[in-house]
């Protein structure tokens, strides 16, 4: 016969899980009604609580992975980073980030943020207060020569379901918008694949091309070697493509136009890591 105390504990656990799920749904609905900056702040408050509630047994350890870098080109600077995020970190970010995902927004040159057919994915920002997010940002900082974490935006998780995409765009902003916001531009980007079970769903740079017939065939694991018209980096879980967004004169480089290709089947999830230019007092 089940003891009353045991039954009470079970009912309490079920009620707590039920209320927690209702809270998450309400929180998600509230996020959808706000701009990126407000979404970002609200989500970070929840994430701070979430991280504090995690036990050490659930949190993967922050060990420097044995990643491998390969330079693709110098103008603009584009580099492939194999095994940039570990399998344990990928699993953690996928589980952590899914509860905050909202339809992606596009920022126009006047600063307006809207949902647009140009970008049909879902996104969420994960704040530096989370130990694993901070660990990955520290790793990205080191790879760039120990840039300050204050120059790095919070990590953005991006999820693509079947048929979703992000049409060709830039990560850097127009100078007019940067000046009006009183900030600095995005100097560089990492896009790291967390999970992908789709084909031909990588990151494409339509204004860049490489004659892969003249390169080592081992590149074909990481790029579409059959495409000589544009540079297309395959979606390989754990691996990243890194590039510089700005020219030496600090203006946006038009050659960095890129797209998250449509997902013909399955799904793809990755993270954006953006580093801003350094400026005194910022």
The CATH number of whichever domain residue 125 belongs to comes to 2.60.120.620
Burial (CB count <10 Å: 0-12, 13-18, 19+), residue 270? buried
User: How many CA atoms within 13 Å lie on the side-chain side of 239?
Assistant: 19
Mean pLDDT of the chain: 87
For residue 62, name the pLDDT band (cuts at 50, 70, 90). Answer: confident
182 domain residue, yes or no:
yes
150 domain residue, yes or no:
yes
**Cβ-contact 211, 220 below 8 angstroms:** no
Question: Would you state the structure tokens that stand for residue 234, as one six-digit string?
Answer: 């395959």
Provide the pairing of β-strand 155-160 with 166-169. Answer: unpaired
- State how many domains the chain has: 1
User: Does the reported pTM lie above 0.85?
Assistant: no
Q: Provide DSSP, 173-241.
A: --HHHHHHHTS--EEEEEEEEEEE--SS-SEEETT----GGGS-GGGGGTB-TT--SSEEE---TT-EE
Q: How many CB atoms lie within 10 A of CB 54?
A: 14
Query: Is the pLDDT confidence value at 7 over 80?
Result: no
44 domain residue, yes or no:
no
Q: What is the mean pLDDT of residues 123-146?
A: 96
Query: Is the pLDDT confidence value at 25 over 80?
Result: no
Q: What is the mean pLDDT of residues 116-142?
A: 96
Q: What is the mean pLDDT of residues 40-52?
A: 58
Q: Which has the higher per-residue pLDDT, 20 or 181?
A: 181
Q: What span, in angstroms and rounded, lies between the C-alpha atoms of 141 and 265?
A: 34
Query: Is the pLDDT confidence value at 103 over 90?
Result: yes
Question: What percent of the chain is predicted at pLDDT more than 90?
Answer: 71
Radius of gyration of the chain from Cα atoms?
A: 20
Q: What is the mean pLDDT of residues 153-169?
A: 98
198 domain residue, yes or no:
yes
84 domain residue, yes or no:
yes
205 domain residue, yes or no:
yes
Enclosing domain of residue 62: 54-276
214 domain residue, yes or no:
yes
19 domain residue, yes or no:
no
């Amino acid at each position: 016969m089940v003891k009353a105390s045991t039954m009470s504990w079970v009912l309490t656990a079920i009620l707590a899980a039920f209320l927690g799920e209702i809270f998450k749904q309400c929180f998600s609905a509230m996020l959808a009604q706000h701009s990126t900056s407000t979404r970002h702040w609200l989500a970070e408050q929840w994430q701070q609580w979430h991280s504090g509630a995690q036990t050490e047994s659930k949190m993967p350890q922050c060990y420097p992975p044995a990643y491998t870098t390969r330079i693709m080109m110098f103008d603009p600077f584009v580099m492939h980073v194999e095994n940039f995020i570990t399998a344990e970190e990928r699993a953690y970010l996928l589980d952590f980030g899914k509860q905050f995902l909202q339809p992606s927004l596009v920022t126009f040159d006047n600063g307006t943020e809207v949902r647009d057919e140009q970008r049909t994915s879902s996104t969420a920002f994960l704040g530096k207060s989370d130990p694993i997010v901070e660990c990955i940002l520290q790793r990205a900082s080191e790879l760039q020569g120990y840039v300050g974490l204050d120059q790095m935006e919070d990590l953005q998780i991006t999820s693509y379901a079947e048929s979703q995409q992000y049409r060709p765009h830039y990560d850097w902003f127009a100078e007019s918008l940067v000046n009006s916001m009183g900030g600095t531009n995005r100097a560089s980007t990492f896009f790291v694949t967390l999970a992908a079970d789709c084909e031909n769903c990588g990151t494409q740079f339509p204004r860049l091309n490489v004659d892969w017939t003249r390169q080592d065939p081992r590149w074909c694991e990481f790029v579409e070697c059959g495409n000589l018209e544009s540079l297309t980096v395959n979606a390989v879980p754990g691996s990243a493509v890194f590039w510089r967004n700005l020219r030496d004169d600090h203006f946006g480089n038009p050659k960095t136009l890129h797209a998250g290709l449509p997902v013909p089947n399955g799904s793809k999830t990755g993270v954006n890591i953006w580093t801003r230019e350094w400026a005194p007092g910022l």
